[in-house]
């Protein structure tokens, strides 16, 4: 039997220390999927596989993450988030141990795929926090936790590139295992303000999963936000994987440490995303998303003409990293204003779409680059970015029309 959302006593507000601890946990847990970005060429050479084959590692990780979110994240509306996070974070730690000990490409890919399936904590924690912060701080805290995701990705890519250049790619995953062990010990203290356990009911697991699709069908604005973020995340994964292959190719000849240093540009997102979250609180998430999507399109358009050197590509990457995460922040804000008892299941649909997009981007970015080089990869990115702008404009107009009708 599952438990049915009830009306438990209001949980205590998070302290600022807890907010920071949750952000740290999100950063470390998120990083696991992104160590491979700057070192994908080295991992391929280490296992003796092609560019298309190595693209399966991040692609399957993202698909498994989407499946895990669909099957596991809805439990957050019924069981204590603290308990679920501890289980899944422990599972991730064990999977990383499997990657460290993997004797070949197939077992490494299998452990990475299972790791993706267990990566639920970064998506339970924002819903957990959204119920424990004042409404006027929702955008700021959501942005802080999103910035933690960015910071985790940043550290993963920069650190992996540098460590691989000075040691080897295997050392990267040994370090990741140590970090996850520490986070597993920290998590119970950071999430100690759990609400009272909900009452049991007749709701079954199958009905719970079906309810995810039912709620998605009832909230078209959520579906638009999910489609936008799916494309947005596809842009992100395709950009960095294709860029790593491009820069470390014989034609350009940069090292994995150079790619890692380049990933440091994402540090701008850690600084600007919380500020942009507060700005979105003022102007509204849908209007803010349109602006962010347009600025991102400008950056994507500059990738091809400036992509002949690592110095030139810094300009478009700076622009994309400046506003790209704001598309995600504003999308989540449209969900967190809805009823608390359905937020986790709506977030499930949103995140599933996001990681399906990430899987498509991972496979398409490496495959298109392998087939047509940097020019073909940039054309793919432009197509997806134009779609993000179009859907963002549609969502904003639709909301404006609805608001006008309600006002009349």
Alpha carbon distance 57, 170 (integer Å): 15
> Do 304 and 374 touch, CB atoms closer than 8 A?
yes
The tally of domains found in the chain comes to: 1
Identify which has the larger pLDDT, 58 or 15: 58
Q: Predicted confidence band at 406 (pLDDT cuts at 50, 70, 90)?
A: low
pTM for the predicted model, two decimal places: 0.73
Q: Is residue 10 part of a domain?
A: no
Q: What is the CATH number of the domain that holds 288?
A: 1.20.1250.20
Q: Note the pLDDT tens digit of each residue in 346-388.
A: 878 888 898 899 889 988 988 899 889 999 999 999 999 999 9
Q: Predicted confidence band at 1 (pLDDT cuts at 50, 70, 90)?
A: very low
Which string of b and e fits 258-270 if b means at least 16 CB within 10 Å?
bbbbbbebbebbb
DSSP string, 262-289: HHGGGHHHHHHHHHHHHHHHHH-HHHHH
Q: What is the mean pLDDT of residues 65-90?
A: 84
Q: Is residue 270 part of a domain?
A: yes
> Angle, to 10 degrees, between the axis of helix 16-31 and the axis of helix 121-130?
160
Q: Which residues pair with 3 in a beta bridge?
A: 200
Q: Is residue 5 part of a domain?
A: no
What is the structure's pLDDT at 324?
Answer: 83
Alpha carbon distance 217, 282 (integer Å): 29
Average pLDDT taken over every residue of the chain: 83
Q: Choose the weakest-confidence range: 202-216, 240-254, 381-395.
A: 202-216
What is the structure's pLDDT at 132?
Answer: 76
CA dihedral 40, 45, 48, 49 (to 10 degrees): 30
> Do 300 and 381 touch, CB atoms closer than 8 A?
yes
90 sits in which H/E element: helix 81-101
Q: Is residue 1 part of a domain?
A: no
Q: Is residue 79 part of a domain?
A: yes
Q: Is residue 240 part of a domain?
A: yes
pLDDT reading at 335 higher than 80? no
> Do 198 and 5 touch, CB atoms closer than 8 A?
yes
Residue range(s) defining the domain that contains residue 265: 16-189+207-407
What is the structure's pLDDT at 408?
Answer: 57
What is the structure's pLDDT at 201?
Answer: 47
What is the structure's pLDDT at 315?
Answer: 92
What is the structure's pLDDT at 322?
Answer: 84
Q: Is residue 20 part of a domain?
A: yes
What is the structure's pLDDT at 207?
Answer: 82
With H, G, I as helix, E, B as strand and everything else as coil, classify residue 201. coil
Q: Predicted confidence band at 297 (pLDDT cuts at 50, 70, 90)?
A: very high
For 104, how many CA atoms within 13 A lie in the half-sphere containing its CB? 1
Identify which has the larger pLDDT, 316 or 147: 316
Query: By CB neighbour count within 10 A (0-12 exposed, 13-18 middle, 19+ buried), where does 311 fall?
Result: exposed
Query: Other C-beta atoms within 10 Å of 114: how many?
Result: 20
DSSP string, 212-249: HHHHHHH-HHHHHHHHHHHHHHHHHHHHHHHHHHHHTS
> Do 23 and 147 touch, CB atoms closer than 8 A?
yes
Query: By CB neighbour count within 10 A (0-12 exposed, 13-18 middle, 19+ buried), where does 134 fall?
Result: exposed
Alpha carbon distance 215, 83 (integer Å): 25
> Do 308 and 178 touch, CB atoms closer than 8 A?
no
What is the structure's pLDDT at 93?
Answer: 94
What is the structure's pLDDT at 336?
Answer: 65
What is the structure's pLDDT at 391?
Answer: 94
> Angle, to 10 degrees, between the axis of helix 267-283 and the axis of helix 285-301?
140
Q: Is residue 7 part of a domain?
A: no
Identify which has the larger pLDDT, 139 or 206: 206
């Amino acid at each position: 039997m599952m438990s049915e959302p009830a009306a438990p006593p209001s949980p205590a507000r998070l302290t600022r220390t807890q907010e920071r601890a949750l952000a740290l946990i999100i950063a470390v847990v998120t990083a696991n999927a992104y160590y491979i970005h700057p070192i994908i060429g080295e991992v391929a050479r280490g296992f003796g596989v092609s560019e298309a084959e190595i693209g399966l590692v991040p692609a399957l990780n993202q698909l498994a993450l989407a499946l895990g979110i669909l099957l596991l994240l809805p439990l957050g509306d019924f069981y204590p988030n603290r308990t679920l996070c501890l289980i899944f974070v422990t599972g991730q730690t064990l999977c990383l141990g499997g990657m460290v000990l993997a004797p070949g490409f197939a077992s490494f890919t299998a452990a990475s795929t299972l790791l993706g399936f267990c990566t639920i904590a970064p998506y339970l924690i924002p819903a957990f926090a959204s119920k424990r912060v004042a409404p006027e701080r929702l955008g700021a805290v959501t942005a802080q936790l999103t910035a933690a995701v960015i910071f985790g990705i940043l550290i993963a890519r920069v650190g992996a590139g540098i460590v691989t250049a000075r040691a080897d790619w295997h050392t990267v995953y040994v370090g990741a295992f140590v970090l996850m062990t520490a986070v597993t010990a920290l998590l119970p203290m950071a999430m100690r303000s759990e609400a009272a356990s909900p009452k049991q009911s007749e709701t079954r697991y199958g009905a719970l999963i079906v309810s995810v699709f039912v709620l998605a069908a009832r909230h078209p604005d959520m579906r638009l936000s999910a489609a936008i973020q799916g494309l947005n995340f596809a842009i992100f994964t395709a950009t960095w994987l294709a860029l790593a292959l491009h820069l470390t190719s014989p034609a350009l000849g940069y090292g994995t440490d150079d790619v890692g240093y380049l990933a440091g540009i994402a540090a701008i997102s850690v600084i600007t995303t919380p500020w942009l979250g507060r700005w979105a609180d003022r102007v509204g998430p849908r209007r803010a998303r349109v602006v962010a999507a347009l600025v991102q399109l400008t950056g994507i358009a500059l990738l091809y003409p400036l992509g002949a050197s690592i110095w030139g590509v810094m300009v478009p990457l700076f622009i994309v990293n400046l506003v790209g995460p704001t598309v995600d922040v504003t999308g989540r804000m449209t969900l967190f204003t809805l009823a608390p008892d359905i937020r986790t299941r709506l977030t499930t649909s949103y995140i599933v779409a996001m990681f399906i997009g990430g899987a498509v981007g991972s496979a398409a970015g490496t495959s298109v680059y392998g087939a047509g080089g940097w020019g073909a990869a940039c054309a793919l990115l432009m197509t997806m970015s134009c779609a993000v702008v179009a859907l963002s404009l549609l969502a904003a107009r639709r909301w404006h029309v609805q608001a006008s009708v309600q006002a009349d």
